[in-house]
Amino acid sequence: MNIQPNRTTSMILALGLCASLTAGCATAGENTKKGAGFGALFGAAAGALTGYLKDPSGGALRGALIGAAAGGAIGAGTGAYMDKQQAEFEQQLARERAANDIEIQRMENEVLKLTMNSEVSFDVNSSSVKPSFKGALNKVSNILDQYNETEIVVVGHTDSSGSEEYNQTLSENRARSVAEYLQQRGVDGSRIATEGKGERFPRADNTTASGRAENRRVEIYVIPNAQTGAAVG
């Protein structure tokens, strides 16, 4: 395996910084004209990471300002590239979306977020991908392989049942299982990082069965990089 978890910190930091600068969702087609703006955000995120590593006390902010200035010159074709990829996901995963097995979200920073319901992807207390879910992952991997000018972060989440330590490990293992399956299907492992969030980021009430089911999930973040859409920029 060639999955690189050491890249998770940089990619997640870039994602978090961009999301904090411009939050919200959009549908395919709405962001085509925003690629140049994303270039500034991407540069800001990269600059923030560099600055933070050099000076955790205040380097991130300085790095963000420098990176934004440099990054504004890149990424003119990013929005169009991500529009096409989103449309492909929506078309190929129409049945899974209708069944609420997979959600597709477009974030303002041009990141695509695929959320997979763990009830259909994993058995309880298991990190092995269900055979019945491999068809959907095959579609996802085919698209990720086709649109290869992106980075990928697979993030696992659990509900609050069980110990915090157990849930953390389970979330990491589930994220890793999905990442490994994507690589087995031909996605370049050097593009993929994994992250386990355990029970720390619920999106529903853990005191109800329906809420716990919603909190058990795996997310795939498809993140543009400096080369994304350059050929059409």
Q: pTM for this structure? A: 0.73
Per-residue pLDDT tens over the stretch 39-92:
555 555 555 545 544 554 444 444 444 444 445 444 568 888 989 999 999 999
Positions of E strands within 118-201: 150-157, 192-196
Place of tokens 């990424």: 75
Put the strands of the sheet holding 102-107 in their side by side order: 25-26, 102-107, 112-117, 217-224, 150-157, 192-196
Residue type, 161: S
Confidence grade of residue 94 (pLDDT, cut at 50, 70, 90): very high
Q: In this model, does residue 26 exceed pLDDT 70? A: no
Fold of the 5-232 domain: 60s Ribosomal Protein L30; Chain: A; (3.30.1330)
Q: What does the pLDDT read at residue 70?
A: 43
